[in-house]
Structure 1
């Protein structure tokens, strides 16, 4: 299977997603949008993954490639093929599906619990769990989408739209290395707040939260026959 990753900045890559896919024999390619990479012919790919980034979905003047990506994503979602959006990627999905993306009351940066919202049909997380967050905006639930998770700071932490599209506000792909990259490039975001952890809290050793169990469940679901 050909999996294409849309990456918005160099320091927010697929992290744990990449080895998970390559170990299972999938072919992975990338476009780095802030370096003006081309987007592939959608007919040549099977699964699209959209990563995070420090910009807003509304920043089209400062990041004109957002217009091109939104048009591409809107057409892709109509195809019904597997799609996973993470943080900014989920916000772009929500926007493309007609939902509002807006600044939330409090930034959410750090390790905070996510509460699962079980569904009778479609995808569901097994239980509530600790997840890594780094966002100051949120999205409303898109029309016809099912909510998947929430947190104290953010009532919309994830959604499923149709049988093959999932958007997640939090970062299941996080590894110690990718966390360190975010801290290095986004340290100015660490302004004290009720849901903003300190640098030392973000970088603390917490092997139980890096197990990638929930990431594997999401990817298995999207790649099912």
Structure 2
């Protein structure tokens, strides 16, 4: 990873932050800035000029959040965020989408985001898609990932599905070499997951299911962080 990288983060919920990703970026002396969409009053229209100058961003990371990627009625800034993303992608700049962030990128590129009946909060096993072109991003053959979402997006035009599981056919997708969308949370840490789950504890059917999520094997987190680091390196390659 090149030094002094200018990284910008689109954040949609206070507890859905960069987590492990921030430590990695700061290790490489990256300059990290954030747009906190969750802090914007919904009744005030956001001007696209209030977002960073695209030329000043080397890597965009679109985070998750407790929102539906197409709920522009309740979150009017989503329209502006997607417009900015389209302009950014048109310049073939690198971008990662994590969880809902992957769905926002897909929606910005015209793919529908489908709403499931229940919010998914679980460790899911995903498998890499076989027989992909050699230059595609390589997901592990199998890994456990944290899903914190109610929705799933279809593949945007030109996208390649990289991973799948029994619930979501397109768990991870790639467009060109500069766009990776993960419909799960690679950046999550044990502390970050605890914070997220503490806010959502009342939705669990039993206390046991809540505890099982919090006490997942450490390898689940470490493997996710390793794939995230590899993903950042991949989209930054010329």
Does 2:234 match 1:221? yes
Provide the residue aligned with 1:27 in structure 2. Answer: 31
How does 1:1-225 map onto structure 2 within 5 Å? 1-36=5-40, 38-104=50-116, 107-118=119-130, 119-120=132-133, 121-190=135-204, 198-211=209-222, 212-225=225-238
TM-score using structure 2 length: 0.87
Structure 1: tracts of 5 or more residues without a match: none
Q: CA deviation at 1:147?
A: 0.4
1:223 is displaced (CA, Å) by 2.1
Deviation at 1:105, TM superposition (A): 5.4
| Offset from partner CA, 1:123-159 (integer Å, 9 cap, x none) | 1213211111111100111111010111111111110
Equivalent-residue separation in structure 2 for 1:191 and 1:161 (angstroms): 38
CA shift, 1:189, in A, is: 4.2
Matched length: 221
CA distance in 2, matches of 1:198, 1:182: 15
- Partner of 1:198, secondary structure, is helix
Quote the RMSD (CA, aligned, Å). Answer: 1.8
Structure 2 gaps of 5+ residues are 41-45
1:94, distance to aligned residue in structure 2 (A): 0.6
Offset from partner CA, 1:103-129 (integer Å, 9 cap, x none): 135543111111111421321213211
Give the Cα–Cα distance (whole angstroms) in 2 for the partners of residues 40 and 28 of structure 1: 12
For the 8 Å contact 2:106–2:153, the answer to whether it is kept is yes
CA distance in 2 between counterparts of 1:203 and 1:135 reads: 16
